[in-house]
Structure 1
Amino acid sequence: MNKSKSIYRKNFSLVVVFLILISVIFVVALFISYDFNAKNIDNEFASKKIDVLEQTIKPYNDLFQNKIPEITSYQGFLDSTSAAKYADAIFHNFPFVQKIVFYDARISSQKNSTVLRDNLGVSINQMYQYAPANGQVKGIRVWNTNDEDDFKEMAVKLSDYIAFSDTSRESSQIEIFNTFYNIKSGKISYSNIPRRTDVKNYRELIKNGSPTSYYKQNIMTFFLDPYSLRVKNTHKELYQDVSIQPVVYDPLDAGNNNLVTEAALPGAFADFKLYFRSDSDYLTAETNRRFMPIAAMVLLIYCFLVLIGWLIYRNLNVNLKLFKLQYDFINNFTHEFKTPVSVIKIAGSNLSAEGGLSDKQRKQYGRILNEEADKLNDLMNKLLSFTQLENKSIDIKKEEIDVEAFVTKYIETFKIKYPDFKINFKAHGVTSFYSDPVLLGSIFQNLIENAYKYSHPSKKVLNINVLQQKRDIIFSFADRGIGIPKNELNNIFKKFYRIENQYNQNGSVGLGLAFCKELVNFMHGDISVNSKVNEGSEFIVTLPYEN
């Protein structure tokens, strides 16, 4: 027994060590995953600002790359009306455009041109200013404006392009950008791009110097308000607040609890930046939100490992219990054989002794030999029958059984064997049925024997009731014995299993109830038990009723 306890302690210690190990791994995994999430949030806070920047300046890029170049499609023939329609589309789709100045320019050889180079002059024919007002475009003709400097810069670039461009090939994108765009803080000036044939005509104009000849050219200046850009915070989980600020903006109240980063705006907004700010608690909440699924997954793995550990421990425990059962079975089985063999040997020695024996002594020794031989034979028959039942190597031989006669026979047999055993019998409306009398007799013998064996000396009473219920016949064996603990009810029908108590220290190998269970199952029935400690047990055998 001490050895078994030692083994159980070792197994339990291994399980404890295993649980501690995976618990430590679980805590470390949680810590590492949380730290990884926190660092990942910090990295994303610094890198994801590009996504916000791209989405915020997407309308500006659309204006710059797609809408402004549409001016070229008019080939210099925009007038105040068509320019107003064009401006209306700009204001409707790009709210950050505050006003547009339209220059209806002429290219000629007139000497009074705003810009004159090599007999080629670029001058303003008419100038208009457009601005949104109450959902409509308000356009006015302008005579004098401070914005003529923008026109002069564009005119100089255009003159240089006409004078020096290579008309044998298409202009590159860099040449177009440097010539026909002029980008300053808060505004973009653009001139329509002349065709190569137009450039050749301009050069002819320089050579001929005809004062009456001229060509139309359109130049526009777009005034932009960076604060009217719509900030699209596509990562609200990272950035609590995103605003447009001047490049030189540096708030004095930026404390340790705030995380800030910046992203410069391009082009005409180059003097401004996107300013990103988040409280540390705000990012901590995001870290926790991302951490929860990871923690749940780690917890699931942890529970899975605990379950595996428990299954391993349970299997080891079952194997150890099975080993103990087998060990106890061998000991008890050896004892069961040793006791009658010893008695037979003593009786045989006395019978073969030289001294004479009286008739009474010879009869007594003969009775002893018969009883012990019957014990051995009963034990061997039980083991043999058990093996045959498990291997399905026997057949059920059904015959009609008279219930009262069948039960009375066993009652009388046990009254002779145990005079102090009181057995009561009652049949409730059942007279006969068909079954195998030998198999049924084995069930009766084992259950009656157990009722006597596990009852107090003063309470050796058994009540047997037989009744029919639908298509079943039910046998009830109710005693007033020591009872069975509730936690043992699921084990008593297991092979070699014995409940440790004072009544089965000797003479039990744990086969009786297991043998009954196998018999009942073999006969297509069922056996169950109801029991209370120190009050008694009731075994209920249910078999198919056939008449």
Structure 2
Amino acid sequence: MKKEQNFGFRKNFSLIVIFIALISTFFVLSLFVAFNYSKKVVENEYVSEKINVLEHSMAPYNDFFQNKLTEISFYNGYLDSLNASKYIDSVLLSYPFVEKVTFYDAEVKNSPIADGLTFGNFSLGPKASYDYSKLNVKTSVTVSKNIGDEFRELALKVTNYLSHLDTAKVPSQDELFTVFTSVRSNKITYLNIPQFDDLKAYKQLLRKVEMPPVVFQQDMLSFDLNPDNIKILNIRPKLYQNIEIRPITYDPLSKKLDNISTEVTLPGPFSDYKLYFTSSKTFINYAILREFMPLSLILLLIYGVLLLVAYLIFRNLNINQKMYKLQYDFVNNLTHEFKTPVSVIKIAGNNIKSSPSISAQEQKFYGRILDEEADKLNGLMNKLLSFTQIENRVITLNEEEVNIREFIESTIESHKLKHPDFDFTYELIGKETIITDPVLLGSLFDNLAENAYKYSSPDKKKLKISAKLSKNKAEFKFTDSGIGIPSSEINNIFKKFYRIQNQYNQNGSVGLGLAFCKELVDFMKGEISVKSKVGEGSEFLIVLPFN
């Protein structure tokens, strides 16, 4: 049986080791996959998040281009130098990338305009122009000497559009905005959008339709932009270590091998420039680790749970094996304990049955044998029954006053009758009476006395009982000179069915004696402990509440 149990233990241990090896392999592979996934995520973000950085950084420009620029049309061409100055001041203060603004106070006539553009009866030209910058608030110049190329370029674009305009259909605002806006490198020029009726009148002038002298007011503003003044918003500082605005042709000759870079072109008038992103490989590795750490912690938690499950399974298997061994030993020992007296009774009965005549001496002899063996069976049955009743708490304490001196002397006398070679001594300190259950107390005394006799060599069968009754508790010490208990077994001796392997247990022991004592003491709301030294003896201490 022991061989089979050892085989079962080795088998269980091997299965658990295989299970741990499998989950450890899975854990390592999962960490590898998680790290590669984190690396891929960071690499993809490094390429894709630059668009978000661009959108956030260009948000002021988009606001200027889509909202602030169109405010010029609200004046319907009647923007004078004073209002233009207020408008431009707000632009220069709100949008740092706007460095200079040129305001053209223009007009459309059906007569030629000096320094203007004339097509048919349509003429578009400036009356005056003003330069605004952050250093010079306003500078007035003559019209004939300061007509920029942007004015002529936008005037030609508008004239070409008017020549193809379908006056039967109202054009959309997006279409008009595109026509009346000119975007060049680092420059935006905008001509206020006329009313649709004015556009139809401009169309007639292009066709040389005769009409009385007419004048239409127009306002044109040209904005000089500097991309170096765009405020870069690095919304991913843990991903991009450095972001710069560089010319689109920028290609640093001293690229470091440990740097990673990417770029994205700026929109509109800044299309000759790009956002240039650089991060060191060490910086990117930190970003990968930040992405990887939560995944690794989750995997570590799962791995820990699986290890705990493996440990609990292994522990339960071992407990079950130990319980099985205890139960197996219990059945074997109990069978042996029953078998011996039954065999003796059977032999005695057969002798009586087969004998033609029995003398008085033989009758007395066989009667004593039958009586002793029956007592053994009855005692064993009573111990099992009592243990079950105590364990399941189906009995109650029957408390009465007990004289401890008389109780100890009665116990000694009883055991001396069974074991004449048993050397008993006792001492009593304090009071002599206690309120307790005499039957349960007697079971405690009998079990400890039997153990002291059983586990002692023939020349050391001694037991000293000490009783100390104080105001709050009663202490009983049972000191023997037996074989002692190994320190490694102290925590096991009170377990049910547990037996210490020694020469005194070879002839059968159920393993209930000390477990029964522990149950009794617990039931009586007391405590039991033991001190022992191998080869010198043991001392059991029982402490019961004093009533």
Report the TM-score when normalising by structure 2. Answer: 0.92
Cα deviation, residue 454, structure 1: 2.4
> Does structure 2 conserve the Cα–Cα contact (< 8 Å) formed by 1:326 and 1:496?
yes
- The one-letter code of the counterpart of 1:389 is I
Distance 1:217 1:457, change over 3 A: farther
Q: Is residue 2:131 matched to residue 1:123?
A: no
**Aligned equivalents of 2:173 and 2:488: distance in 1?**
89
Cα distance in 2 for residues equivalent to 1:157 and 1:107: 15
CA contact (8 A) 1:446 1:512 kept: yes
Paired residue secondary structure (2:317): helix
- In the alignment, the residues of structure 2 paired with residue 455 and residue 126 of structure 1 have an alpha-carbon distance, to the nearest angstrom, of 128
SS of residue in 1 equivalent to 2:134: strand
Instruction: Note if 1:376 corresponds to 2:377.
Output: yes
> What is the letter of the counterpart of residue 85 of structure 2?
A
**Cα drift, residue 544 of structure 1:** 3.4
1:406 equivalenced with 2:423 (yes/no): no
Shift of the 182–410 alpha-carbon distance from structure 1 to 2, 3 Å rule, reads same
Instruction: State the alpha-carbon separation in 2 of the partners of residues 531 and 217 from structure 1.
Output: 114
Residue in structure 1 matched with residue 231 of structure 2 by the alignment: 230
Q: How does 1:12-411 map to 2 (within 5 A)?
A: 12-113=13-114, 114-133=116-135, 138-143=137-142, 148-162=148-162, 164-167=164-167, 169-200=169-200, 202=202, 207-211=209-213, 213-254=214-255, 256-351=257-352, 354=355, 363-411=364-412
Aligned pair in 2 of structure 1 residues 239, 458: CA closer, same or farther (>3 Å)?
Answer: farther
- Larger displacement relative to structure 2 (391-400 or 78-87): 391-400
Contact kept, 8 Å, 2:76 with 2:192, in 1: the verdict is yes
1:308: Cα distance to partner?
Answer: 0.7
Bigger shift: 467-476 or 10-19?
Answer: 467-476
Letter in 2 for 1:155: A
Comparing 201-210 with 527-536, which one deviates more in the overlay? 201-210
- CA distance in 2 between counterparts of 1:437 and 1:451 reads 21
Query: Displacement, 1:398?
Result: 2.3
8 Å Cα contact 1:119-1:209 kept in structure 2: no
CA spacing shift, 1:472–1:161, aligned 2, 3 Å: same
1:481 and 2:482 matched: yes
Once residues 482 and 431 of structure 1 are traced to their aligned partners in structure 2, the CA distance between those partners, rounded to angstroms, is 32
Q: Which runs of 5+ in 2 are unaligned?
A: none
Residues of 1 paired with 2:122 and 2:464: CA distance? 133
- Partner SS state of residue 503, structure 1: helix
Q: Percentage identity across aligned positions?
A: 49
Separation in structure 1 between the aligned mates of residue 534 and residue 305 of structure 2, nearest angstrom: 38
Q: Is the 8 A contact 1:430 1:466 kept in 2?
A: no
Consecutive unaligned residues in structure 1, runs of 5 or more? none
Q: How far apart in 2 are the matches of 1:82 and 1:427? A: 118
Q: Which amino acid aligns with 1:51?
A: N
Q: Which residue of 1 aligns with 2:468?
A: 467
Aligned to 1:504: 505
* Residue 274 of structure 1, CA deviation: 1.3
How far did residue 34 of structure 1 move?
0.7
Kept in 1, the 8 Å contact 2:457–2:483? The answer is yes
Deviates most, 519-528 or 317-326: 519-528
> What is the rounded CA distance, in whole Å, between the counterparts of 1:483 and 1:94 in structure 2?
95
Task: Compute the displacement of 1:131 (Å).
Answer: 0.8
Cα deviation for residue 368 of structure 1 reads 3.1
The answer as to whether partners of 1:190 and 1:219 remain within 8 angstroms in 2 is yes
Taking the aligned partners of 1:70 and 1:296, their CA distance within structure 2 comes to 55
Distance 2:276 2:163 in 1: 45
Partner AA of 1:91 in structure 2: L
Q: Secondary structure at the match of 1:68?
A: helix
